[in-house]
Chain A
């Protein structure tokens, strides 16, 4: 485990938070969507995070060559384990004139709370920022080590 693996860890955090932000933005954009390719209204999506070892191909090959075994990494990155789709029943609104209305005049709308998505979006954005700050700090440490012999 080196400072370079710390960079990979932060990068994995950034990519996971970005994926989450993309899903949340998709949710907000589709808050009123009544038609989807799968049929029925749009359903809210969210990312499930899982901690996992980070793959730094260069570091692992280097370690294999020099020590003959793989580095038992104790620093964990994060990955998006799965994207879950909301299974709650859609919200039914009485709109008889709507082209997607059923026989009784109700239209199925996505069950979505914009406040929930906005709060999650803020949290994703803060998480992303924290990872960027971590990369900055680690990069600074690496640079200092390199400058030692100047």
Chain B
């Protein structure tokens, strides 16, 4: 969820800079970071994007897709975490009962 937050921050940053001359799209290698699970992810420049006349290579389509994707992944991670929290809660409740 931390990783997804960082990624979502970068996506919003890319969207805000959609008209900034010379701005390069930023991203993280999600799968790689997830495997390493280190504290601070490395921020990369996204490759394979078309650079416009003003040196800006933000693709609004790519960013909206990532926005939606991150939201869904976050939702999935949140459901998993919620299940764990529920487990702990029910354990506490049972303990109180006896």
Residues of A within 8 A of B (CB): 1-3, 5-7, 9-10, 12-13, 16-17, 20, 48-51, 74-78, 123-124, 126-127, 130-131, 133-135, 137-138, 140-141, 144-145, 148-149
Chain A residues with Cβ under 8 A from B23's Cβ?
51, 76
Number of A-B residue pairs having CB atoms within 8 Å of each other in the complex = 108
Whether B16 is near chain A, meaning CB under 8 Å from some CB there, is yes
A8 to chain B, nearest CB (A): 9
Residues of B within 8 A of A (CB): 1, 4-6, 8-13, 15-21, 23, 26, 43, 60, 63-64, 67-68, 70-71, 74-75, 78, 81-82, 85
Chain A residues with Cβ under 8 A from B19's Cβ?
16-17, 20, 49, 78, 123-124, 127
Distance between Cα atoms of A20 and B18 in the complex (Å): 13
A137/B68 contact (C-beta < 8 A), A2-B5, A6-B8, A145-B1 known: yes
Contact of A130 among B10, B18, B26, B81 (CB under 8 A): B18
A130/B63 contact (C-beta < 8 A), A3-B8, A138-B8, A145-B78 known: yes
A131 to B9, Cβ gap below 8 A?
Answer: no
Distance between Cα atoms of A50 and B10 in the complex (Å): 16
Distance between Cα atoms of A134 and B12 in the complex (Å): 6
B6 to chain A, nearest CB (A): 6
Chain B residues with Cβ under 8 A from A76's Cβ?
13, 16-17, 23, 26
Distance between Cα atoms of A74 and B10 in the complex (Å): 8
A49/B11 contact (C-beta < 8 A), A74-B43, A130-B60, A130-B63 known: no
A144/B78 contact (C-beta < 8 A), A2-B5, A131-B15, A137-B70 known: yes
The 19 listed contacts between A and B (C-beta, < 8 Å) are A3-B5, A5-B9, A13-B12, A16-B19, A17-B19, A49-B20, A51-B17, A75-B9, A76-B17, A130-B63, A133-B64, A134-B12, A134-B15, A134-B63, A134-B67, A137-B8, A137-B68, A137-B71, A145-B78
